[in-house]
Each structure stands twice: as structure tokens, then as C-alpha cells.
Structure 1
Amino acid sequence: MPEHTEIVRVTAWVRGRVQGVGFRWWTRARALELGLVGWARNTEDGRVEVVAEGSREACVKLLDLLRGCDTPGRVDGVVERWSEVRGGLGGFLER
């Protein structure tokens, strides 16, 4: 990555019909295409939590994809939180 690229961490909570429809697998594929590391997991309340680290540009693109119309299932909303990179992540996992 170029030296001027800002590396960030974004956590997103995706609500809708996103469990049991391949949403985590789809998210993993998109994140890997964008060069991001992190994970996606189902939460007990029916949402999917996505944590991604990488360039701000790639994280914004992932959020746009999560909010787009081509996701598996149905996304009713995405809430995001930006934070500093914590590191220690390798690849992108479905948890």
C-alpha cells in the first residue's frame, strides 16, 4: 500500500435476514477481494457482526457492498463504528 494510505478498523452490525443465507461467506469473499483482514460472525440477536481492517478506501467499499442490493438474504440496515487498527488479524474468517 502507498505510504499515504490510512489503515483503519471498521466494525459493522448488519441487520435483516442475514443468517443462514450465505451472508458471512459472501462478506468474506468481498473482503478478500478488497484486501481486507478480519472476520464475520452471527450474533445471538440475528445480526451479523463484521470486523475489517485495511485501507479506509477498501473499508468504505465493503460497507457500500454490505448496504447494496446484491447481498444474500435481505439487509435492513448497517450500523458502523470506526476505530484504530488493533492488528493481529490474518486473512478473513467466518466465525
Structure 2
Amino acid sequence: MKKTVHLNLTGHVQGVGLRYSVYNMALRLNITGYAKNLYDGSVEIVAEGNEEDINMLIDYIKNGLRWARVESIAQKWDDYQGMYHTFEIM
């Protein structure tokens, strides 16, 4: 089932290649949306796609990032919106 999730990542998440790594994994998983640095030092990610693929992306964020230190991930799940056609770094 397709879903949309809004993620907010806190910790040492900016300036370490996190958005680029998430971008590459999202492309492999056919997930659309974006990753964006926020002024408070966190990273916002909106991801749309199959729920199973999104969960794989979240697992990658929790366990597969080499230089980032993700301390917390706030998640807000929504129905699929279909707003994005690709995944972008903003």
C-alpha cells in the first residue's frame, strides 16, 4: 500500500552527507519526495511510496548512515498524496 511519511531527524545530521545518502537510497527504492536541512539543525524528509519501501528507508536512516548520528526520528504517516515525481535534495 502506498503511503506518505514526514520525518524530522535530529542529532548530528547536517554537513555529513545524510541528504545525499538518503537521496541515493530513495532512488533505489523508488521513493519520491525530498530531504531538506532546517534552520534548527534538523533534517526534514518527506517520502512517498510503498509502505514497505519507506520502512526500508527508515531502517537505512537508523542503521546505515556512516557519518551521521541520528538521535531521534519523529514520524507522521499520512495517506498517499502523489505530490512528487522524483526524490530531491533541497
Q: TM-score range with shorter-chain normalisation?
A: over 0.9
Q: Deviations over 1:15-37 (max 9, x none)?
A: 11111111100110011111100
What are structure 1's unaligned runs of at least 5 residues? 1-5
Q: Structure 1 CA distance, aligned partners of 2:10 and 2:3?
A: 23
Moved over 6 A (4+): none
Q: Structure 2 CA distance, aligned partners of 1:80 and 1:94?
A: 19
How many residue pairs get matched?
90
Name which one, 1 or 2, has greater alpha-carbon Rg. Answer: 1
Corresponding residue of 1:54: 49
Question: Quick check: 2:21–2:65 contact (8 Å CA) kept in 1?
Answer: no
- TM-score w.r.t. length of structure 1: 0.88
The amino acid across from 2:11 in the alignment is: G
Q: Deviations over 1:42-81 (max 9, x none)?
A: 0111110110000010011111111115343211111111
1:28 is aligned to 2:23: yes
Corresponding residue of 1:63: 58
| C-alpha RMSD of matched pairs (Å) | 1.1
Alignment of 1:1-95 (within 5 A): 6-95=1-90
- TM-score w.r.t. length of structure 2: 0.93
Paired-residue identity, %: 33
Q: Structure 1 CA distance, aligned partners of 2:9 and 2:36?
A: 10
